Structure 1
């Protein structure tokens, strides 16, 4: 029997039986170091486990809107196979009972109601209540439920070179849904700044990097403007912005932290990038819409990334706002624009010139970069599933964006002597992270008989707010949730001051500080497994000093037929 098993694994070395009795498949790890010791090429091992789960999504009234007749439309957070391209296997429950008419034509839903419904797109449900009542106000509970079998794939590997190329196989015949991406700095002493992206896609880490990715030497000004417009069309979607003002007018935050916004956010980001590329640019506020313009060849030209459109005149030249106001037929020559808005309605926005205004205002933003810096032994987990928390300071709309992710940063300070000493009895810790912080907590592990310190938080190390904690078995637990939520705008960093009332140095009385932070990120901007082009690039700065003490990376995703 032993001999048979040996022969079996010689011919099938990728099969592995895991302890729960399920069959897992592990593809061999073909890691290769090139001639340059600072560059690695890897084909990491993949472990597969077949799983099944019941997926439930509660449809809340604020996700519903009246469409026509008896029909209501619900925005869904969890994307699943739908009727439009295949046939949804989801069941709509009303107070726990299945409605009896799935896969219904929309006209039938509008005219008859009586529980007809259609899970039309992965994130859109057309439905009616069983008794023709308004589902937003009838007090009934609506859930979309389905049973799903899938293969959970997982791959873990350690990167220790300055640059690494990581290759995974393509799976064009399977549906891919990213679940997690985890980074952990294995070095107990050194920081690592990392840069992770999919090969061949734009670099979103800074304005300069974005433009270097999408512009090429020798481009004409119109080609530059079109490239920036197309870039914004591809990397964001239309949804209520997280807050007003210039928070979303920084392209780095707009694309990496949020990934969504309104027309003014798209137009302003176009202006910021166009100016960075050397183009004169401005925004136009129309009657209920905002677009951008770029100036070249002696005139202004309109670019609308939110509605994914430019309009060309009879000479093939991209028209400007004022030309479109005089010639609305350039807009109405097609019945709808690329996102489905009626062209006549759009034309009316341009021709209603009484309150249309152009502005060349400079947004109040920094030329920021997004390069996560991992402190020694930091662990970061990005979750691509439906978020539990979302940054939302916009009082006009509290609904949740359909594509957004939550992540967790675990950071520990093991030697408080490394923190800045601002007074003999004070130590100050500065926490900074490139993604917007939603929640935070930390614990101070006190040494035996140590005094309980006072703890303060500040956004700028100037104005301080005292935090209350709970002491249990020499551990002082402190939450920053309320403080973060009370801030008027997005929080990316904070200062923590630890102070001993007896005059002693907190570094002498506290053995360790453990913290956990929940943040928000834009899933589209963070590279993960997909059907094709699964080649990734990682740069580590500085490169790890010791083999095996670099960056551990773990990707988890699921595959379905």
Structure 2
């Protein structure tokens, strides 16, 4: 029989429950979903008995914080078994169960270390990207298969580690505005390219869903998400004002003049100045508008003078439906706002402290509770900052912000490891917790040790600023006790703005005499919210991983990567050749029909649709128009270029990729080109009138 232990340290067993657990364990290899379901049902049915056995063993109200399903992840040893079952269930979603997670552990002692990870298989989060509809025509990108599981950085040395960070494949180095701009807007780029590159960062890494809460501050609208680095690392879901203001902040840091406009108190957009004119970019609706020359990005004044520039543009991204458009032409409301730009992802890991980040986690909190976004309810990524110092070491107090009347085992050889220095004066320890991510919950575990007559009133307090303290636990006097308390109610994300720091105070009052009182272990777990899109993500093939930190002294860091691999589906091959117009040919008009060879699929899966891009640059680096970056919504290898976007005699470049019925994308085809033909005269229904194709009304 499996033995089940709860956090109160009181064992609880139930014959029926463990029979189901044993049955689930036997069948999990062949039927993971069938195994997981009875386990969940068993937890639901047994919850009243679990709750009854726990009454009086934990602080009042503690049990109310957890549902039966959450207890599935709080119990030992079923916790580890359940996690393994869940991974198998997820892997089974796109075919046969994938092999178990793979792991790479690196011990790092230098300020910079480079190594590689080979992601094998046929699927990753990029070639299984799905686009799900949200409110209106907004779209949310999510992977069909996510190989990345967890990344942890742990300080296993004796000195603080300053600003440890990891970048994979030179992508998403969003530690600060300096590193962000250096990555996406190189000094040798013309200003128009810098502006577009920064727009793409915001267009591609967010979706419109319940923007983080705004609040008035000295007559201005403010939000943590107005800070570009917070915006990129903390949030995936956001709104128009947050994206426009944060994007403008990055433009300014790149040396470009920018401004933000709120159209009629209904929609915020950003403008950037280059080539002696203002140009409007709408990252929220994933669109920019071209002037009638079909080359120049229009500005707000252009769009006010010619609203058709907005009305003709495709909004909400390449995967949005054909009819995705929007019109907002109201006057600027001139809403004042405060936009800080000083945040970095700075972090100091003390000895015994670690930061773990997950791409997918069952305990991750929903990013929104708005029914408009069901059934694809987005979730925050999940991080955990854990401080678990070895209190027997000489540096055990180095991680404290303050301590009073506390002696070290390393100094006098007496237990507990941190104990009373001089009786009968009170003893106090204050430990700070600082995170570059917003704090959404936590847990404190402290082992108090005391001999008879050792002392009174062991207690734990928390505070956001280190002045006003809230007592979250108080233990018995003169005997050992265990503090194990959740901080979720204290953090209270529903009623507070985002916090990145708090303090934990531990105190006790020693009694006169030689008896000792103190603590033998300490573990502070802090739950963090984060954007999964900001994480250093592995993709198929060889990945170059670079670790850096700013530590001046010696360091000893352990980095752990955990990932999965899957060959459950083989993506289609890239379309092999252009048919019409053939490569380098001249098209018959400014709105030609493009055709290519159908994509082949090694699995025999049918092709569902194609994604096609037509651009003005041979390197395909930046889009020409959102109407020329489209999903075909058809399994036919053809697409009609929309009328009114190409210039006669200009050369254009294009490529295409295919998606199969199981959601796997092919690589892009090679790049082909054509020269736009003449505008065609089309007969009108009115006598003696013709319409010149490509000329907008």
TM-score, normalising length: structure 1: 0.66
For residues 254 and 341 of structure 1, do their structure 2 counterparts lie closer, same or farther at Cα, with a shift above 3 Å needed?
Answer: farther
Match of 2:458 among 453, 460, 463: 453
1:203-227 Cα shifts (integer Å, max 9, x gaps) = 1111111011111224333232212
- Residues 169, 391 of structure 1: alpha-carbon distance in 2 compared, 3 angstrom cutoff: closer
Report what 1:150 is aligned to.
98
Partner residue in 2 for 1:500: 508
Native 8 Å contact 1:57 1:145 kept in 2 = no
**Structure with the greater alpha carbon radius of gyration:** 2
1:338 aligns with 2:313: no
C-alpha distance 335-157 of structure 1, shift in aligned 2 (>3 A): closer
Return closer, same or farther for 1:358/1:404 CA change in 2, 3 Å cut-off: same
Choose between structure 1 and 2 for higher RCO, CA contacts under 8 A separated by at least 6 residues: 1
Cα separation, partners in 2 of 1:389 and 1:336, compared to 1, 3 Å: closer
Matched, 1:161 2:110: yes
* 1:384 alignment partner in structure 2: 359
SS at match of 2:360: coil
1:536 maps to which residue? 545
More strand by share: 1
Pick the aligned partner of 1:466 from 457, 471, 475.
471
What's the offset of the Cα at 1:519? 1.6
> 1:441 matched to which residue of 2?
443
Conservation of the 8 A alpha-carbon contact between 1:55 and 1:148? no
Name 2:523's counterpart in structure 1. 514
> 1:185 touches 1:550 (CA, 8 Å); kept in 2?
yes
8 Å Cα contact 1:202/1:210 also seen in 2: yes
Tell me, in whole angstroms, the C-alpha distance in 2 between the residues paired with 1:330 and 1:473.
Answer: 73
Matched, 1:357 2:306: no
| Structure 1 moving runs of 4+ over 6 Å | 55-58, 144-147, 341-344, 393-400
Q: How does 1:113-152 map to 2 (within 5 A)?
A: 148-152=96-100
Q: Which runs of 5 or more structure 2 residues have no equivalent in the other structure?
A: 1-28, 38-91, 125-145, 215-221, 406-425, 569-697
Q: TM-score, normalised by structure 2?
A: 0.54
- Deviation of 1:243 after TM superposition, in Å, equals 2.6
Q: Aligned partners of 2:113 and 2:105: how far apart in 1?
A: 14
Alignment of 1:138-537 (within 5 A): 148-152=96-100, 153-171=102-120, 173-175=122-124, 177-244=147-214, 245-287=222-264, 288-315=266-293, 316-334=295-313, 338=317, 340=320, 345-347=325-327, 349-350=328-329, 353=330, 356-358=332-334, 361-363=337-339, 365-390=340-365, 402=378, 404-413=380-389, 414=391, 415-416=396-397, 419-421=400-402, 425=426, 426-448=428-450, 449-469=454-474, 473-485=480-492, 487-501=495-509, 509-532=518-541, 534-537=543-546
CA distance in 2, matches of 1:398, 1:508: 53
In 2, Cα distance between equivalents of 1:368 and 1:56: 46
Listed as ranges, the gaps of 5+ residues in structure 1 are 1-49, 59-143
* CA-CA distance at 1:508 after TM superposition: 6.9
User: Structure 1 pair 390/247, CA: closer, same or farther in 2 (3 Å)?
Assistant: farther
- Structure 1 residue 202: Cα displacement: 3.7
Contact 1:432–1:494 (CA<8 Å) still a contact in 2? yes
Aligned-pair Cα RMSD in Å: 3.5
CA contact (8 A) 1:183 1:554 kept: no
Equivalent position of 1:553 in the other structure: 560
Partner-residue secondary structure (3-state), 2:500: strand
Secondary structure at the residue paired with 1:368?
coil
Instruction: For residues 164-209 of structure 1, give each alpha carbon's deviation from its aligned partner in whole angstroms, at most 9, with x where no partner exists.
Output: 1121225473345212222322214543531101123241111111
**Residue 323 of structure 1: CA displacement?**
1.5
**2:244–2:282 contact (8 Å) kept in structure 1:** yes
